[in-house]
Structure 1
């Protein structure tokens, strides 16, 4: 282990520790403000190549000082968690490590500023406005999406069908968020384009379908990869490629979301990181190349990615399972679900005695059913069928 890689927070939704398991020959330090938020830490299942360091990861200076105090000489510094990518880039720049421009990352995380920039570039995005502190009944084209301007993980994303609901959304979000965005409600399914940028070269990984929960929330409850949308597929990737090239994006995975409207794809947001949820596992299964090894190689300035290829006949889908009522988790009955055709994994995200919440955001997710098939559609039907056999016991 000749290199030291610092990961400033990773994903908490099941795939975050893949970066460590898929690179066992490297030495990692996981910097985290709350070690207990990771299931692997709570279950004492930390890989041998990982040292967990508790530090305030929301403070750039504190992270920098901790690295110095530990006497580390990092070869790479990055984050897989949306809220920490910018800080990781700034710290990486301070140590001379490979990194994207921190100001570009800040732009990507500011939904209003990013969309303003994209619209000037001629890119189709939803119409949007920042809500004023005091609302007036001047909005006419209901329904609207209401969300934090810098939110992530479907947290706080709501729908307002009229002014009364808009006021309710505003009152709900205002205590936690200084800027609240209202945007045009677009008709069409949500998809994402997973791409990887290596020294400025934009490489296509594929498209992911994303199934959302019932209104008023927008929790992602199902995924399948790779998705085939016919002629629009190339249009989506070319849009992603041109945008990232014009913005000057240089390194690592990017997750770009689109709504497939009747008039064509409309870009919703750009996330400067690997997609969250189970998508990392799906890429790991469906691509010939190892996405997690590619991430490390990119930031370690080692072997560069040149192309990603899909495995023929490999489709994967994941369906999330949420509690239908709040309570304390007492047990799970999974034996029948595991016997369904194509089911390869049931990933449990909670432990006994955890408090379960409803499907208002990803934090209420109890488990995921993974299924494979010759196509992503076949895999999705299999996962959906097996989901019905899961039983959650509460106390």
Structure 2
């Protein structure tokens, strides 16, 4: 058998610590590191140049359903495999002295419709995730935002799950008294027919059994039809990623935002639900003044605002180009960016202090809540009481 360890964000350094201990007691045990953190460059950054001591470790790169099966077969076999076979299987194999014998191709499932549903097969239940049923809508992304892990798929497109499966899992959620459904995707509003089908299915469920919805909406894809469909859903938490209004930061992250259209969409959505607008602190190209301008824009909207320090995602362009962008990051703290070529350490610290001071001053803004790095800074008490500043489903 082989041991599989998770590698996303804080799980990675814990898994690497376990690998180091297992090198002493179980050097013959095959170990697969699986998840978004199974990226050679990211692992090297966390290890800070130290080689992986265990002789039978491999990174299974890409989607677990595809990478783990072929990867497990190879690591369980004795002997040395050709580099081409390792690359094709998606296995990154470290050398004892540092560096990589193979880096592994990023594997993706060819047909998502062939994957079994963990809910419909009885593997998962709503109580496994606090009363929430996690429904996969699509994987991948239409865009190539340079900070984001969902944009590092080989294909620049969302890969949808069958609508029939999505609706069956929503029905499962209602039948099993789930409180909410998390619709997992980089943006729910890629395909308007899917949103309309989901809205129709939820509307058909009696109100006393109807779960509420948590998902992500891309503001660049909110035409009138999509906006109507989005507003039909029984939202608990709608995440809308703005990230910045600074043109320089937007250009560096390879993102375009029409601020007038963004404001118009948010004003309409807020009539039926208070959306959560996300902002990133510490973007390359951004500055202290540029960040404060972004905050003035979002605080003047009828929204909840959540600000997150930039953390480098495995496989992202920012991770790859961090040296050219002047990025210094703390990989013992999930790759949190400490400074960039345009946003110095002192400026980031001043911006953070300004955010925290907002919670202590008289509130003069339209925004109803402000959170920073998963902590609540201010709450006006308006709107739904059951919302909280929480981590989003990380599919985007």
* TM-score, normalising length: structure 2: 0.27
Larger % of helix: which? 2
More strand by share: 1
Structure showing greater Rg: 2
The structure with higher relative contact order (CA 8 Å, sep 6+) is 1
TM-score by length of 1: 0.27
